[in-house]
Chains A and B, each alone.
Chain A
Amino acid sequence: MIEITRTSPFNTVQDLGRPGFRHIGVTASGAMDPFALKLGNALLGNDGGSAAIEVQTFPFQLRFSASTAFVITGVDCEATLDGQTVLPWCAATADAGQVLDTAHPRHGARAYVCLAGGVDVAAVMGSCSTSLRGGFGGNGGRFLAVGDRLALGLANRAGDIPPCGLAMVEPAVMLADVFPVAPDGALLVRAIPAGEHGLFGADAERFWNQTWKLSPQSDRTGYRLSGEPIRPVTPVEMRSHGIVPGVVQVPPAGQPIIQMADANTAGGYPKIAGVIEPDLWRLGQARIGSTIRFVQSSHAEAVAIEKAMNGFVEDVRRTSGMVKRALMALA
């Protein structure tokens, strides 16, 4: 059991989401940075889709009521356990009564507090993710609040963390060649042209070439971008159709919207592009006010990136299991 002792709004229980219900209007939800969630679960020896706490407003603080292995992934939020520094991407064990505290990260946007056994809330429609729009799932379909107590699932005892902790190399470093960084600091987001790309004429080039800024109207539902407006050559009336996170829609004002984890399930604005799925986690870590540039990509490239990501998650799972077993044998 853990108890939330300090939080602001917008922090929720999330797993890998609730796909499969878009046809009845239910958003998939799930972690904005699913890569960080998978890596945290792999390091702890949890099931890959175990639920964790997504922290996007800081400070956030919780108290452990029993000895619990945990890891913070996603960002460095200068976490401390009873005042002692806890490194990100490094699993550790908290004793009963200890308090985990976090501060606003200097880079990145969302921390994942992954716990051995996972957060054990009742699955609704196959997932523990919080559906804020529907008001169900996660912890009663709402943001976490001070005083909330969350049960944890049964931890894999073979997954005991050595007293010195168990660290992994963070993905931005480990997979630096897969996720290139622009010299000017803009996040490079790879995307594939979508249905109405051709209707934007010369503005399509400006979509790819300019640097966009994430406006303050950006949240788990979607990111509104600001920059030089882009518009179709002639206005288009679309019939409502299904959409997925990553779709880049262009409303009449010409400032694109990227739909994110809590995306609406249907839309009708013209679509200029769709972000490839393996780059969505990087958007999930983009901060309001930061800049991005779209880079034209392909399905083949997406396949190659996914392969590298899956290989890394498997590597973390295998290696951490091996280290833990070896240390147990020694002890």
Chain B
Amino acid sequence: MMNVLVGKTDTPLVMLDRNGARVAPIGSKAFLLETTGEFDLAAQRRIWALSHTIAAWEDKAEIVPGMTNLLIVLRHTPEDPEAVVRRLLDAWDRAEPIDIVGRTIEIAVQYGGEHATDLAALCNYSGLSDRDVVRIHSEGIYRVFALGSAPGFGYLHGLDQRIYMPRKTVPSLHMARGCVTIGGMQTGIAVLTGPNGWNSIGFAELQMFDPLSDTPAIMAPGDTVRFVAASVDL
């Protein structure tokens, strides 16, 4: 019926690295384009542009912009994967940075208190007082780079590097939905109660996701987010 290849290991790799981006497959239908330059807004604005271009491709089933990268899932397994890789890199070469005019979302945060389980550790790590950590976090202006991981979760860029904090090696097992967290150089709001490796410094009541809504996620890429200190309990 067909020639089944068992134990064949000399298949050429379907990957290419060119002009600040590389593409490689994930399985048979998905391809990941990753930028290889800085982790910054400029790169993300080109990813948003690329996302717009690809949205018009007839063979795309799904586009998932990530943090300065983009996953495309095709409708059908391509006969010629090398052509897909080249087409993605060509589109990247032509991608001129765009800015998404998003909404500005103000989120009231209860800093400190029972949900701020990692505030003390962050103070130790950064050498800052809890008051300074809260001030620096609430003064920031953040952009939603991408959504992912859990329903409606927004990866926010723009964290002040003085309060960068690595993810925990042992995650908290039952972090509450609504915890305001820092993971490395990113910040965000937990959308599900459960295991979480990010560091919690406060709590927000906002419901980030409603599966029955026409627009289930509150945040969208390009949105601007500001945290407003509703209360500080240190």
Segment touching A, from B74-82, B108-116, B126-134: B74-82
Looking at the assembled complex, report how far the CB atom of B183 sits from the nearest CB atom of chain A, in whole angstroms: 9
CA distance A284 to B63 in the complex (A): 25
Are B150's CB and A25's CB within 8 A? yes
Q: Pick from A20, A178, A277: contact of B29, CB below 8 A.
A: A277
Q: Pick from B13, B67, B77: contact of A306, CB below 8 A.
A: B77
Are B63's CB and A303's CB within 8 A? no
Taking the complex as formed, is A313 at the interface, i.e. its CB lies under 8 A from any CB of chain B? no
Taking the complex as formed, is B69 at the interface, i.e. its CB lies under 8 A from any CB of chain A? yes
Q: How many chain A residues touch the partner (CB < 8 A)? A: 59
CA distance A163 to B8 in the complex (A): 48
Are A244's CB and B29's CB within 8 A? yes
Of the four ranges (under 10, 10 to 19, 20 to 34, 35 or more), the interface on chain B belongs to 35 or more
C-beta contact mask, B145-178 vs A, less than 8 Å → 1, else 0? 0111111110100000000000000000000000
Are B26's CB and A274's CB within 8 A? yes
Are B1's CB and A24's CB within 8 A? no
Q: Pick from A177, A239, A264, A266: contact of B4, CB below 8 A.
A: A177
Residue of B nearest to A302 (CB): B28
Looking at the assembled complex, report how far the CB atom of A275 sits from the nearest CB atom of chain B, in whole angstroms: 6
C-beta contact mask, A272-291 vs B, less than 8 Å → 1, else 0? 00111110000000000000
Residue of B nearest to A238 (CB): B34
- Interface of B, secondary structure class, is loop
Segment touching A, from B91-99, B117-125, B210-218, B226-234: B210-218
Looking at the assembled complex, report how far the CB atom of A265 sits from the nearest CB atom of chain B, in whole angstroms: 5
Looking at the assembled complex, report how far the CB atom of B37 sits from the nearest CB atom of chain A, in whole angstroms: 11
B71: chain A residues within 8 A (beta carbon): 22, 241-244
Are B79's CB and A303's CB within 8 A? yes
- Name, among A195, A197, A304, the residue most crowded by chain B CB atoms within 10 Å (CB to CB): A195
CA distance A125 to B216 in the complex (A): 9
Are A240's CB and B211's CB within 8 A? no
CA distance A244 to B148 in the complex (A): 12
Are B34's CB and A239's CB within 8 A? yes
Taking the complex as formed, is B191 at the interface, i.e. its CB lies under 8 A from any CB of chain A? yes
Q: A24-B151, A24-B216 are in contact. Are A241 and B32 (CB under 8 A)?
A: yes
Q: Pick from A25, A193, A239, A301: contact of B147, CB below 8 A.
A: A25
CA distance A119 to B31 in the complex (A): 34
Are A244's CB and B4's CB within 8 A? no
CA distance A275 to B30 in the complex (A): 11
Are A239's CB and B69's CB within 8 A? yes
Are A300's CB and B27's CB within 8 A? no
CA distance A305 to B146 in the complex (A): 34
Q: A25-B191, A137-B211, A295-B6 are in contact. Are A192 and B152 (CB under 8 A)?
A: no
Q: Which residues of B, 1-39, contact A by the 8 Å Cβ criterion?
A: 1-9, 11, 13-15, 22, 24-30, 32, 34, 39
- Name, among A19, A23, A265, A298, the residue most crowded by chain B CB atoms within 10 Å (CB to CB): A23
B206: chain A residues within 8 A (beta carbon): none
A191: chain B residues within 8 A (beta carbon): 27
B27: chain A residues within 8 A (beta carbon): 191-192, 194, 244-247, 274-277
The contact sample of 26 A-B pairs, CB cut-off 8 A, is A23-B62, A23-B148, A24-B209, A25-B151, A134-B192, A136-B211, A180-B6, A190-B5, A193-B11, A195-B22, A239-B34, A239-B66, A239-B68, A241-B64, A242-B69, A242-B148, A244-B26, A244-B30, A244-B73, A245-B27, A247-B26, A247-B27, A265-B150, A277-B28, A300-B79, A301-B5
- Besides the known contacts A192-B28, A193-B11, 8 further A-B residue pairs in the complex with CB atoms under 8 A apart: A133-B151, A134-B192, A192-B27, A195-B32, A197-B13, A266-B149, A276-B77, A305-B2
Q: Which residues of chain B have a CB within 8 Å of any CB of chain A?
A: 1-9, 11, 13-15, 22, 24-30, 32, 34, 39, 61-71, 73, 77-81, 146-153, 155, 186, 191-192, 209, 211-212, 216-217
CB-based closest 7 A-B pairs: A242-B64, A242-B71, A274-B27, A266-B148, A195-B24, A241-B66, A302-B28
